[in-house]
Chains A and B, each alone.
Chain A
Amino acid sequence: MKKCPYEEKIDLYLRRKLSETESAQFEEHYFNCPPCFQKTSERNELIEVIQRRGAFIFDPASSRRPEPRISLGEKVAAFLTPRRWVAASVTAALLLVVALAVVPRFKSHGPHFVFTGDETVRGESLAVLSPRGNVKAVPDSFEWKALNSAAEYQVTLSGLETLWTTTTQETKIALPEDLKNKLKAGSYTWQVKAYSAQGTLLAASPKVQFKILN
């Protein structure tokens, strides 16, 4: 439906923004144009209510005005002005420094395990290389694979009883000459245990049997 050109003047007329002549022309028009009269009458009612009850209608305290929908990101962006960004960054950095300085002092120690015998820390393993199985002569040395976290190894040679125990930071150790001379043909076992720098047992190899044949 084509819009009546006088519709543009409804607000101007009701807000008394038209001259006397224009106002009279507009009035004569709505006496002849039922749609324009209808719209003018409705708009007039709206304006009157707003002007009389505006304090109530637009009172933010009593209004049920819905809060604008703002996402969390927008809320944070609105809250963090450049000055607040700087303050937040400085605070975060200070907290981090304090945390790094203070927290280790209160750090609780992990449970201390005391290992006995062949118990090893789960996941660690210590493999011996030689001697093992049958050997033709008294071995010159004992050798095993390195354990990354180990600071020291303890080697034990046993026959019917413990014959020799020693420690080393290497992964190979020579058998002392005097002991070498004492060893005769027969079966022996040896074992190596790995210790941390604090003296904690990290791993123990299986007791490996070797047999000197002559």
Chain B
Amino acid sequence: MRESPVKIDLEQLIIQYKPVVSFKVKKALGGGNPEWEDIVNEILMQAIEKIKSGEFRGESSVGTFIYTITSRRIVDYIRQKTRVLKEIPEVQALPDPHDQVERDERAEQLAQAIRKLKPKFRDVLYLYYYKELSREEVAREMGISPARVSERVNYAQKLLKKMLGK
């Protein structure tokens, strides 16, 4: 085994990249997919092994390196899944009930907070994310500039963070 030419705090790497990899995997496979967590762990293990073995030489950033592993693993998973699905019908496992309760609770708090926003913020969220109008369409609907639409969305997000005490 070759020695890694770059010194990386692996513990710190996991702390920093686990949420990022999780986000990307869930986005690609869907948060309801019960395998997403296993895939995330596999990706991180693979990254650590490659760093330890010296395969990662620091030619790209650590972020890009982990992103590449993540993307490939997702592509592999989808290919494999497509092949398997052709042979055996998939049985959907239920998501972890504990996680689900926690997610639901947070979503409920956020939903309540959105309802308490002033109409000018709530309306922009309604048109932009619920009705899925373009930024320009929202601007026309509300009689404001497109830049103002983005400002209101960003400000609404800040208010919500404050309301939820994040």
Would you call B19 an interface residue if the criterion is a C-beta within 8 Å of the partner chain's C-beta atoms? yes
Would you call A143 an interface residue if the criterion is a C-beta within 8 Å of the partner chain's C-beta atoms? no
Interface pair A53/B64, CB less than 8 Å apart:
no
Would you call A107 an interface residue if the criterion is a C-beta within 8 Å of the partner chain's C-beta atoms? no
Interface pair B61/A15, CB less than 8 Å apart:
no
Residues of A within 8 A of B (CB): 11, 15, 24, 27-28, 30-34, 37, 40-54, 56-58, 63-66, 68
Would you call B161 an interface residue if the criterion is a C-beta within 8 Å of the partner chain's C-beta atoms? yes
Interface with A: B76-84, B88-96, B115-123, which one? B115-123
Set of chain A residues within 8 Å of B27, measured between Cβ atoms: 44
Set of chain A residues within 8 Å of B58, measured between Cβ atoms: none
CA distance A28 to B106 in the complex (A): 28
Distance in angstroms from A37 CB to nearest chain B CB is 5
Q: Which of B111, B119, B135 is A57 in contact with, Cβ under 8 Å?
A: B111
Per DSSP, chain A at the interface is helix
Q: Whose C-beta in chain B lies nearest to the C-beta of A34?
A: B16
Would you call B40 an interface residue if the criterion is a C-beta within 8 Å of the partner chain's C-beta atoms? no
Distance in angstroms from A17 CB to nearest chain B CB is 8
Per DSSP, chain B at the interface is helix
10 A-B pairs with C-beta separation under 8 A? A11-B150, A31-B64, A31-B66, A34-B16, A37-B23, A47-B129, A49-B110, A56-B111, A57-B114, A63-B115
Q: Whose C-beta in chain B lies nearest to the C-beta of A55?
A: B130
Residues of B within 8 A of A (CB): 16-17, 19-20, 23-24, 27, 61, 63-64, 66-67, 70-71, 106-107, 110-111, 114-116, 118-119, 122, 125-126, 128-130, 132, 135, 150, 153, 157, 160-161
The 5 A-B residue pairs with the shortest CB-CB distance, nearest first, are A32-B63, A31-B67, A31-B63, A54-B130, A50-B129
Interface pair A46/B23, CB less than 8 Å apart:
no
Interface pair B64/A50, CB less than 8 Å apart:
no
CA distance A33 to B63 in the complex (A): 8
Distance in angstroms from A16 CB to nearest chain B CB is 10
